[in-house]
Structure 1
Amino acid sequence: MALSWKLVIDCADASAQADFWAAALEYEVEDPSPLIGQLLAAGRLPEAAVTEHRGRKVFRGYGAVRHPEDPFDPASGVGKGRRLLFQEVPEPKTVKNRLHLDVHAGPGGLAELVERLEGLGAVKVQEVDKGPAGHWWVMRDPEGNEFCAA
């Protein structure tokens, strides 16, 4: 049986990273507000653990995105499939990522993909041309994390 997983990414602003990557991947930002409401009402969550983002209550320091076609728990908003969880950490990014995402365009759509990602706040770093093996862009998300658009 295959194991469930999520990719956890350290960052400075979890909600902003979730917004960027949801738009970049055409995923959905998870909405934990129903769960937060239940936990607050039951006295099981301190108000200090909650903040508001885009008119919804979210867990302070966390944001997540999920694939729109994958199953999720409607009570908590947590995805049960392809999922990225962003968690805020105090230290800044200082070196190259040891892990990164590759975002793939459809056939002939690399220029449009790169333009869309730039419109979301990504920055082109380097064009890589491997001849017959293909060509892609190394880019950075709004917090400077490297990823590839191919």
Structure 2
Amino acid sequence: MDLSIQVTLDCTDPHTQAAWWAQTLGWTVEPIEPGFIRKMVDAGQASEADTMDFNGELVWRIGAGICPVDQVGQMPRQRMVFQRAPEPKTVKNRMHLDLHPGTDKDVQREQLIARGARFLYAGNQGPFTWYAMADPEDNEFCIS
């Protein structure tokens, strides 16, 4: 079986989360065609309530996607989707991302904290060490 996967993250502000994670991963927010969105609303296939303005652009309210810059428009592709959830996160994630920086973990941790991440704790097992972190909406991830 040949499968590709996409990681989807529930959040309260999908466009802000998409922008934060795109910068974190060195990816890009997938382009959205405002003209297509307007056409769908004008044709009655979507409503104004399905849209919103984000940084001066008309976008779908429900979510946003990111992918590596060189994979924009390709199928399949590595992808993360951020979809609006009606409630904020309240419990620990059952799954999280592990980031493997090409730079020193301490440097990466400080850069992410400066951009709104939160340091949770340092962990280790045998020779392996990691930092547990939380993104701006408190979704856990590790730097290892």
Structure-2 residue corresponding to 1:113: 108
CA-CA distance at 1:41 after TM superposition: 4.7
CA-CA distance at 1:27 after TM superposition: 1.0
Partners of 2:133 and 2:71 in 1: CA distance: 27
Structure-2 residue corresponding to 1:69: 70
Aligned ranges 1:132-143 → 2 under 5 Å: 132=127, 134-143=128-137
CA-CA distance at 1:131 after TM superposition: 4.2
State the AA in 2 paired with 1:94: T
Partners of 2:67 and 2:28 in 1: CA distance: 5
Unaligned runs of 5+ in 2: none
1:146 is the counterpart of 2:133 = no
CA-CA distance at 1:13 after TM superposition: 1.0
Judged with a 3 Å threshold, the aligned counterparts in structure 2 of structure 1 residues 4 and 130 are, in CA distance, closer, same or farther, namely: closer
Q: Is the 8 A contact 1:123 1:140 kept in 2?
A: yes
Structure-1 residue corresponding to 2:12: 12
1:36 is the counterpart of 2:37 = yes
Q: TM-score, normalised by structure 2?
A: 0.87
Deviation beyond 6 Å, 4+ runs, structure 1: none
State the AA in 2 paired with 1:69: D
Partners of 1:144 and 1:94 in 2: CA distance: 9
Q: Is the 8 A contact 1:24 1:120 kept in 2?
A: no
Partners of 2:120 and 2:5 in 1: CA distance: 30
1:102 is the counterpart of 2:98 = yes
Where 1:97 maps in the other structure, the secondary structure is coil
Deviations along 1:80-136, one digit per CA (max 9) or x if unpaired, are: 411111111112222110010111111x5212211221122101110113342x211
Structure-2 residue corresponding to 1:60: 61
Structure-2 residue corresponding to 1:84: 80
CA-CA distance at 1:43 after TM superposition: 4.1
Q: TM-score, normalised by structure 1?
A: 0.84
Where 2:23 maps in the other structure, the secondary structure is helix
Unaligned runs of 5+ in 1: 74-78
State the AA in 2 paired with 1:30: E
Judged with a 3 Å threshold, the aligned counterparts in structure 2 of structure 1 residues 5 and 37 are, in CA distance, closer, same or farther, namely: farther
Partners of 1:115 and 1:80 in 2: CA distance: 33
